[in-house]
A = this chain, B = another copy of it.
């Protein structure tokens, strides 16, 4: 027997942890659907040539080969396309849009919750297999700016709904590529992508080193580098940020048309966010997302008090999410790193599930012969939506109660007419459905009828509630 051990970077949860993850997924799905996003799934694999189109990340692709044919070259010789596992949900979505363009109605709003794979070195919050939950809106030909306002507000609502289980507050940090590009060009820098790439490193290597890199690698003067860092230093949660950027640009004579457009967009976002999600959205001019091909708004999201975890929800606007030569499909979207979020919630003890099983009631069994009586009780309870299971064996009732206790099942049902032995009533008679039910937490035991009794609403399903941990 081979030794069984976890694989680093491939997280798995115990049933109680999965209750937490499932709750997070249910809240995300519910929120996305309330906003009219249609759920789709795409296959896990894409032809390798498609995956390699997205620069950096492609180094981390897992390539597939069939065992009978372990040499991928053999496959290629037979004209089969080499396949790899998708590393995000954007590349497959773009392909899905092109493949089905004639059958979709645009603007097309979709959500997609699936696993993705990256062969990176695993670290805290960085996995080789993880779940993403994406929303995107994609247009055919054009896509109005207001969707760049909508998508972060949908996410703000989802994160808001997760506050009650113990999720720390989030800050959605927003910027606009037009502001950055407009400013850089206004002060005379033309290597916009290069500058963004350096600014992206601010949190990691600090101001001084970024300034040096801007001078050495992007052809900036010291004064230009200083201006870039001044822009990156601006942040705030109201529209005063807009005035600040405008003033900075004016002081450099850099108020380009592109910058003006970008500032108007950013202002519209801050105004709507101030009304609909006060305090959640923060304009942060150093957000660069340097490795992605965004053309308007860009977003990152941090958990307050857990900033070192990195972004838990990122995205932005692409003018060309996809293109088939004839048509261009601009899009805007955001992607929640569900595994990163859930692993922090669990490892930090920030949340806990009231139980790891769906079962609200364990129906005890008096003897193996009267199991059908217990089955009938369980069936009556389930018929009214109450999750229950029947005890595995007619053990002493103390042992059956312990079975429930170990699993966090709050109630144990003892079949049998009150005042009579548990097995007196035949399974087919109505009296089989009366008995008594014990709340094993309080010890309270009451006569009950399986056709009418209900557990308190808060005990019906496992709940996810704040834990004792600080997660720091």
Contacts and interface: CB of A to CB of B under 8 A. Distances in A.
Contacts of A64: 62-64, 85
Contacts of A107: 392
A60 interface: yes
Given A50-B2, A66-B62, A388 B146 contact: no
Interface in A88-144: 95-96, 98-100, 103-105, 107, 109-110, 115, 117, 119, 129, 139, 144
A385 interface: yes
Interface of A: 1-2, 4-7, 10-15, 18-19, 21-22, 33-45, 47-50, 58-68, 70, 72, 81, 83-85, 95-96, 98-100, 103-105, 107, 109-110, 115, 117, 119, 129, 139, 144, 146-147, 272, 275-276, 323-325, 356-359, 368, 371-372, 375, 379, 382, 385-389, 392-393, 403, 406-407, 461
B35 A12 contact: no
A96 B388 CA distance: 24
Contacts of A461: 33
Contact of A36 (B10, B66, B357): B357
A119 B59 CA distance: 24
B66 A12 contact: no
Nearest to A100: B14
A36 B99 contact: no
A366 to B, nearest CB: 14
- Pick the most buried of A11, A36, A50, A109: most chain B CB atoms within 10 A of its CB: A36
Nearest to A72: B70
Given A67-B60, A275-B372, A371-B146, A389 B2 contact: no
A281 to B, nearest CB: 15
B129 A34 contact: no
